[in-house]
Amino acid sequence: MRMKKKTTAAASGAAKQRKGASAARKPGPGGTGIKGGGTKATGTKAAETGASMRGAVASGDKSTIRRLRAQLARAQARIEELQASAETDFLLGIQNRRGFERELVRSLSFIKRYQASGALIVLDVDRLKPINDAFGHAAGDEVLKKIVAAISDQVRASDVVGRLGGDEFAVLLWNLSETDARAKAAALEDAIDRLTFVFRDSRVSAGASAGVAILTAHSDIDRVLDEADRAMYVRKAQRRHESQENPRAG
């Protein structure tokens, strides 16, 4: 009987120990079972901290994007500025050969796509070298500036004027017939022929010879430039012959 009581007492003690351990693991009112609501409070703070960090990162990303966009805009503006400089004749303020040829290529593409019309006029100044030799390059520069002004007065804002090099110029004309293009070439010659200059008490004139090439859907840049150039040299020879026959015309 005594052995049975001891065994019963031991079993009862073990049961109390298990019950105590279970009670220790049971969540309290706060939810963790160790110190009430500690884990819930910690989790809320962690969530708030994470949200704050994400907000800071998002704000930083927007600031970085704005900064990069501003840098890109400045770089693009600089590229456009450099491109314009590379395609501009600094003395005369018109397009140089590179810039003019780029515009001519674009125009030919437009003409091919939309069946538009246009013409290319190449002008060569007739007596620039003698003026340079007699009065210096500053005098020659003044002649070129006034020639460009005379050309610009004869064309529309949509037309393009460029300097192909030295004393050779080109004009790209839009939406006109071959008859109108040849009439415009004659008007340009006349406007330049009427210019006079005074250097060291000497009155001189320059003059120019113009060649025309009509732009069509089958034109390409090399062909039209060559065609206008050859027509200009034919016209130059004709004017020289006319000048010899009538010295006052020269």
Distance CA 41, CA 75 (A): 51
User: Residue 187 — pLDDT band, cuts 50, 70, 90?
Assistant: very high
Over residues 143-184, the pLDDT tens digits come to 999 999 999 999 999 999 999 999 999 999 999 999 999 999
β-bridge partners, 198 = 203
Max intra-chain CA distance, the chain: 159
Over residues 54-81, the pLDDT tens digits come to 666 567 788 888 877 888 888 877 776 5
Which amino acid belongs to residue 4? K
Strands 197-199 and 202-204 come out as antiparallel
Over residues 74-114, the pLDDT tens digits come to 887 777 655 566 899 999 999 999 999 999 999 999 999 99
> How would you label 50-80 residue by residue, b for 16+ Cβ within 10 Å and e otherwise?
eeeeeeeeeeeeeeeeeeeeeeeeeeeeeee
Maximum mean pLDDT: which of 14-18, 19-23, 191-195, 244-248: 191-195
Tokens (6 digits) for 188:
């340009």
Instruction: Find out whether 137 and 167 touch, Cβ atoms under 8 Å.
Output: no
